[in-house]
Amino acid sequence: MMMGESYSKRRGTGKREISIVSRVLVYTVLIAFTVMTMYPIIWLVLSSFKTTQEFQINRLGLPRYWTLDNYPNAWRIGGFGGLFLNSLFYTGVSTAAIIILSLAASFGFAKLKSRATPFLHGSFVVGILLTLQSIMVPLFLMANATHLYDTRLGVLIPYIGIGLPLGVYLCTEYIKSIPDSVVESARIDGASYLRIFSSIVVPMARPVTTTLAILNVTSIWNEFMLINILVSKNSLKSLPVGILKFSGALSSDYGKQFAALVIGMLPMLIFYLIFRSQITKGVSAGAVKG
């Protein structure tokens, strides 16, 4: 969308002539970047179709004998089926909760009058710059104290809490831009605030909801540091934790390691191919967070 719009404005090509030298230079740089992106990925995919024995003698070339065995083996040894479902569960539930809670709080901050708003809203804005690392030890201690260690809820609550600062910040900015008169006229017609929220604000906030969904799906899907310390049961872990296992104990079994990496890479690649334009928009909108 974003890209398409401006490219379609393109006029005659004669106007932006640049010298041959700069043109060659520009293409060299861009092709270099393309090779740098694609080569490691292609190497990875090709290697994942080699047996470990073949990889040891043929590290760069095409597989002489294509094998598919690495994939089912890696999938089974890594227990990826269960981990994949866990990842879907954590990502889906946390993202949905972050969006609903952020929209609700932001509607309160943006359209309802309260003297507490500057302080409460300010506390979320500060949270955008708090680091995950600085809460790891306390969260671990708290999870143990509340018996939430090794439970799904003990993973979900921190994920939701960590996503809220940016969510509340972006939603408040967005809901502020909805005219007050929309809310006021609904009030005069007798609608309660909660009704206005669910039938007017939520549908109108569609664009910011998309941005939040994109940002949170990518960050929660890839998260592995917190879940690594909050959960020890294999049955509760997520896909990235399972993939990490292949770099440690199983790292000499190259074929399976590469297959595991491809499996780990695919979901986000597919997600990107489907939501490409929304993702690029979401990234620049969410750039308030480093």
Residues 196-225, interacting with other proteins (CB under 8 A): 197, 218, 221-222, 224-225
DSSP 203-263: HHTHHHHHHHHHHHHHHHHH--HHHHHH---GGG--HHHHHHHTTTTTTT-HHHHHHHHHH
Q: Which of 74, 99, 155, 162 binds other proteins (CB under 8 A)?
A: 162
- Does residue 107 bind other proteins (CB under 8 A)? yes
**268 lies in the site for other proteins, by CB under 8 A:** yes
Q: How far apart are CA 115 and CA 35, in angstroms?
A: 56
Considering only CA atoms, which of 177, 40, 47 is closest in space to residue 107? 177
Q: Which of 49, 71, 169, 254 binds other proteins (CB under 8 A)?
A: 254
Cα–Cα–Cα angle for 121, 136, 149, nearest 5°? 105
- In the complex, what is the shortest distance from the CB of residue 100 to other proteins, in angstroms, rounded to a whole number? 9
Candidates 33, 64, 199, 235; binder of other proteins (CB under 8 A) is 33
Contact set for other proteins, span 37-56 (CB under 8 A): 37-41, 43-44, 55-56
DSSP 13: G
Residue with tokens 């439970």: 151
Kindly report the backbone phi and psi dihedral angles of residue 126, in degrees, each rounded to the nearest multiple of 5, phi listed first.
Answer: -60, -40
Which residue in 24, 69, 129, 232 binds other proteins (CB under 8 A)? 129
Tell which residue, 113, 277, 103, 121, has the closest CA to residue 174.
103
* One residue of 14, 18, 153, 179 binding other proteins per CB under 8 A: 18
Quick note: the x/- pattern for other proteins over 59-88, rule CB under 8 A, is xx----------------------------
5 versus 189: smaller Cβ distance to other proteins = 5
Q: How far is the CB of 26 from other proteins (least distance, A)?
A: 5
d(CA 272, CA 278): 9
What tokens were used for 156? 């979900």
Pick the stretch among 68-76, 77-85, 154-162, 204-212 that binds other proteins (CB under 8 A): 154-162
Task: Measure the CA–CA gap between 74 and 265, rounded to whole angstroms.
Answer: 14
* Least CB distance to other proteins at residue 65 (A): 19
Binding of other proteins at residue 281 (CB under 8 A)? yes
Q: Is 234 in the site for other proteins (CB under 8 A)?
A: no
